[in-house]
Amino acid sequence: MSLLESKRNYQSGTIEKGQYINEMYHFHDLLFQYCQLQKATDIKEITLTEDGIVFTSRKLNVKIFSDKADKRAAPFEILNFDVYEKIDSQMVFRLIEPDFNILDIGANIGWYSLNIAKLYPKTKITSFEPIPSTFVSLKKNIEINDVDNIQIYNFGLSNEEKSLKFYLQPDMSVSASATNITGSNNIAEITCNVKRLDDFIKEIDSKIDFIKCDVEGAELFVFQGGIRTIQVNTPIIFTEMLRKWSAKFNYHPNEIISLLGEFGYLCFAVNKERLIEIPLMDENTIETNFFFLHSEKHADKIKFFTNQSS
């Protein structure tokens, strides 16, 4: 029985006042359990409003609004696991320089964009989120954090400009993809627009220093649509690559490694504070997030981060 059901039962006379108070006590006690739960996490504060919940991070005071339970959204991941992608996010923040121009492709509700924006106020961040409802949350989160170095766009990126069907699981927005990657029956179909990265960059005429790409299996198509941008700018690239997701799109992540390798990139995963080169993925590869650095342009960073003590 839910909290609201208990209240309705009392108001309708189904249960007596004493039973109602006892039932509600167990729900209210959860508030104090959350006080204890968040102490060891990067969530400093949880604010209840009539519209939803605002989570505030401990280190950078990043505020994230949520109007529904979302299984894998950053604030809930932090409450579950203390931090959000700790090892990979720390490497992202260390590789970025204060004046970088950054693309956040698959921004979701804005966790990476907002953390980078607050950590490096002089960066310029361009964020892409195709799902309309998630884009609304992204926009709200930027507004409540009062940052002015993030530009957002309500479309996705791929290897051609078109309207594309996306599949969204209502309780897990991060799984939104151009195919039903989870195989869930509880799925919503939404038509969204996608464009080519090369076309977009040509329009805005901007240099790019860093790309974060997490599009639930369709990463190869993003890079195929941005070949010229990558060749000209040789940005650092941080991307998710999962064999099980890419298989849904009929390719293997090694095709991304090969594609970027043609332009002088090396692929790395993070082991504690070190970058470890991954020439190719195989069945023993357990990492899901990877960094691509250009062998010449980023030679100093490669030397430094591969030689860190583990």
Provide the token pair at 233.
């700018």
Residue 176 DSSP code: E
Q: Per-residue pLDDT averaged across 299-303, rounded?
A: 97
Provide the token pair at 97.
């320089």
For position 171, what pLDDT does the model report? 83
Asked if residue 73 is part of any domain, the answer here is: no
Provide the token pair at 95.
């590789």
For position 175, what pLDDT does the model report? 84
Asked whether residue 91 falls in the same domain as residue 226, the answer is yes
61 contacts: CB under 8 Å, gap ≥ 6: 44, 118
Query: Using alpha carbons only, what angle is made at residue 58 by residues 54 and 61, rounded to the nearest 5 degrees?
Result: 60
Q: Give the pLDDT band of residue 127 (cuts 50, 70, 90).
A: very high
Asked if residue 74 is part of any domain, the answer here is: no
How far apart, in whole angstroms, are the C-alpha atoms of residue 10 and residue 280? 62
Asked if residue 51 is part of any domain, the answer here is: no
Q: Per-residue pLDDT averaged across 223-237, rounded?
A: 98
Asked if residue 200 is part of any domain, the answer here is: yes
Asked whether residue 151 falls in the same domain as residue 244, the answer is yes
- Given a cut of 60, whether residue 76 has pLDDT beyond it is yes
3-state DSSP assignment of residue 84: coil
Q: Per-residue pLDDT averaged across 215-242, rounded?
A: 97
Q: What element of type H or E holds 169? A: strand 162-169
CB 286 within 8 A of CB 279: no
In which domain, by residue range, is 225 found? 86-306
Q: Give the pLDDT band of residue 71 (cuts 50, 70, 90).
A: confident
Asked if residue 64 is part of any domain, the answer here is: no
Asked whether residue 16 falls in the same domain as residue 107, the answer is no
pTM of the model: 0.94
Asked whether residue 122 falls in the same domain as residue 180, the answer is yes
Q: Per-residue pLDDT averaged across 183-206, rounded?
A: 93
Helices (H), the chain: 3-11, 17-38, 74-81, 86-95, 111-119, 132-145, 197-204, 219-224, 227-233, 243-246, 254-261, 299-306
Asked if residue 133 is part of any domain, the answer here is: yes
Q: Give the pLDDT band of residue 140 (cuts 50, 70, 90).
A: very high
Hey, which residues does 211 pair with through a beta bridge? 103, 237
Asked whether residue 24 falls in the same domain as residue 170, the answer is no
Q: Per-residue pLDDT averaged across 109-131, rounded?
A: 97
Provide the token pair at 225.
């649509």
Asked if residue 158 is part of any domain, the answer here is: yes
For position 252, what pLDDT does the model report? 97
CA-wise closest residue to 237 among 105, 116, 131, 99: 105
Q: Per-residue pLDDT averaged across 154-174, rounded?
A: 92
Asked whether residue 113 falls in the same domain as residue 199, the answer is yes
CB 215 within 8 A of CB 222: yes
How far apart, in whole angstroms, are the C-alpha atoms of residue 220 and residue 114? 25
Asked whether residue 23 falls in the same domain as residue 130, the answer is no
For position 309, what pLDDT does the model report? 57
For position 67, what pLDDT does the model report? 87
Query: Tokens 């095709």 identify what position?
Result: 255
CA atoms lying within 13 Å on the CB side of residue 160: 3
Asked whether residue 103 falls in the same domain as residue 244, the answer is yes
Query: Using alpha carbons only, what angle is made at residue 186 by residues 184 and 191, rounded to the nearest 5 degrees?
Result: 95
CB 78 within 8 A of CB 115: no
Asked whether residue 108 falls in the same domain as residue 222, the answer is yes
CB 42 within 8 A of CB 59: yes
Asked if residue 46 is part of any domain, the answer here is: no
Question: What is the average pLDDT score of the chain?
Answer: 95
Q: Give the pLDDT band of residue 173 (cuts 50, 70, 90).
A: confident
CATH number, domain at 136? Answer: 3.40.50.150
Asked whether residue 153 falls in the same domain as residue 34, the answer is no
Asked whether residue 90 falls in the same domain as residue 28, the answer is no
> Residue 245 class from Cβ within 10 Å (0-12 exposed, 13-18 middle, 19+ buried)?
buried
| Domain total of the chain | 2
- Given a cut of 80, whether residue 310 has pLDDT beyond it is no
Strands 150-153 and 210-213: unpaired
Q: Per-residue pLDDT averaged across 100-114, rounded?
A: 97
Asked whether residue 152 falls in the same domain as residue 301, the answer is yes
For position 184, what pLDDT does the model report? 83
